[in-house]
Structure 1
Amino acid sequence: MTAPPVSRSQPGSPQLLDHSRQTRRRSVFSRIVTVFTVLNALGVAALLLLISVVSEEWWLTAVLTYLPRAPWVLPSLLLLVVSLFANRTMAWVNGVAAVLVLGPVMGLSAPVGAVATPTDESKVLRIATCNVQGGIGHLAKVLHELDLLEIDLLVAQEAVRDISELEEHYADWHTLHIGEFWFGSRYPIRHLQTFRSEGFNRDTAVVVEVEGPDGPFRVVNVHQSTARHGLMNLSWHSPFTDEGVKDFEWYQWQREVEALDTASFAMDQAVVAPTLVLGDFNMPTTSSMFVKSWSRLTSAFEAAGFGYGYTSPCNTGTRWPKNTPWLRIDHILYDDRWNVHECQIGRTDGSDHRLVMAAVTLKPQADVGDE
Structure 2
Amino acid sequence: MPGGNDEMKAPSTDGKAAAPLRWARARRVLFWAIVVELACFAFFLAILGIGERSRVALLALYAPRQPVLVATVLAAVVAPLTKRRLLVGLQGVACLIALFPVMGLHLGGARASEFPVRLASYNVFFGRLGRPALLDEIGAMQADIILLQATYSSMGERVKARFPDRSTHECDDFLLITRYPIVKVEEPPPLADGTPAKFVGYVLETDAGPLRVFNVHPFSPRQALFDDDQTNDNIRHREEQIAAVMAAVRRDDIPFVIAGDTNLPGLSATGRRYLGDLHDAFDDVGFGFGYTFPAKRPWMRIDRAFASDRIHFVDARVGKQGASDHRALFVEFEIDSHR
- For 1:1-371, list aligned pairs within 5 A: 15=11, 21-22=17-18, 24-25=20-21, 28-29=24-25, 31-33=27-29, 35-36=31-32, 38-83=34-79, 86-87=81-82, 89=84, 93-111=90-108, 115-118=111-114, 121=115, 124-139=116-131, 141-144=133-136, 146=138, 149-163=141-155, 164-195=157-188, 196-198=190-192, 201-233=195-227, 244=228, 247-268=230-251, 271-314=252-295, 323-365=296-338
The letter for the 1-side match of 2:250 is M
Alpha-carbon deviation of 1:324?
A: 1.4
Contact kept, 8 Å, 2:44 with 2:60, in 1: the verdict is: no
Alignment CA distance shift 1:167-1:92 (3 Å): farther
User: 2:219, 2:263 within 8 Å by CA — same for their partners in 1?
Assistant: yes
| TM-fit CA distance, 1:228 | 0.9
- CA deviation after TM superposition for structure 1 residue 66, in Å: 0.7
Distance 1:170 1:72 in 2: 45
Aligned residues: 334
Cα separation, partners in 2 of 1:22 and 1:276, compared to 1, 3 Å: closer
1:95 Cα offset (Å) = 4.7
Distance 2:14 2:323 in 1: 63
Residue identity in the other structure for 1:49: L
Displacement, 1:306? 0.9
C-alpha deviation, 1:48, in angstroms:
3.9
CA contact (8 A) 2:286 2:317 kept: yes
Distance 2:32 2:256 in 1: 50
Q: 1:53 to 1:143 in 2, by over 3 A?
A: farther
Percent of residue pairs identical: 25
Distance 1:146 1:88 in 2: 55
- 1:20–1:210 CA distance, 2 compared to 1 (3 A): closer
Give the 3-state SS of the residue equivalent to 2:287 in structure 1: coil
- 1:190 CA displacement: 2.9
Asked if structure 1 preserves the Cα contact closer than 8 Å seen for 2:246 and 2:274, the reply is yes
The question of whether the paired residues in 1 share the 8 Å contact of 2:125 and 2:150 is answered with yes
- Once the two structures are superposed, residues 155-212 of structure 1 have per-residue CA deviations (whole angstroms, 9 ceiling, x without a partner) of 1112223314433222221111122221111111033321133366114121111111
Alpha carbons of 1:95 and 1:47: their partners in 2 closer, same or farther (altered >3 Å)? farther
Tell me: CA distance 1:30–1:360, structure 2 relative to 1, closer, same or farther (3 Å). Answer: closer
**Letter in structure 1 aligned against 2:204:** V
> Aligned in 2, Cα 1:56/1:200: closer, same or farther, shift over 3 Å?
farther
> TM-score by structure 1 length?
0.78
What is the alpha-carbon distance in structure 2 between the residues aligned to residue 79 and residue 199 of structure 1?
Answer: 50
State the distance in 2 between where 1:136 and 1:171 align.
Answer: 25
Give yes or no for contact 1:191–1:209 (8 Å, CA) kept in 2: yes
- Letter of the 1:198 partner, please give it: A
Q: 3-state DSSP class of the match of 1:265?
A: helix
Q: How far apart in 2 are the matches of 1:203 and 1:23?
A: 64
Q: Which amino acid aligns with 2:191?
A: S
1:319 is aligned to: none
Amino acid at match of 1:361: E
Is the contact made by 1:34 and 1:87 (CA closer than 8 Å) also made in structure 2? no
Question: In structure 2, what is the equivalent of residue 238 of structure 1?
Answer: none
Q: CA-to-partner distance for each residue in 1:214-271, whole Å, 9 max, x for gaps?
A: 22221111110010111111xxxxxxxxxx2x64234212322222222222332xx2
Aligned CA distance change for structure 1 residues 154 and 169 (closer, same or farther; 3 Å)? same
CA 1:34/1:135 → structure 2, altered by over 3 Å: closer, same or farther? Answer: closer
Residues 182 and 202 in structure 2, CA contact (< 8 A), matched pair in contact too: yes
After superposition, give the CA deviation of every residue in 1:46-92 in whole Å (9 maximum; x if it has no partner): 244234443424431221111111122222333444456x4354555
RMSD between superposed Cα atoms in Å:
3.1
Deviates more, 1:298-307 or 1:49-58: 49-58
Q: Which runs of 5+ in 2 are unaligned?
A: none
Q: Could you tell me which amino acid in structure 2 is paired with residue 208 of structure 1? A: Y
Question: Structure 1 residues 26, 186: closer, same or farther in 2, change over 3 A?
Answer: closer
- 1:258 maps to amino acid: Q
Alpha-carbon distance in structure 2 between the residues aligned to 1:20 and 1:357: 59
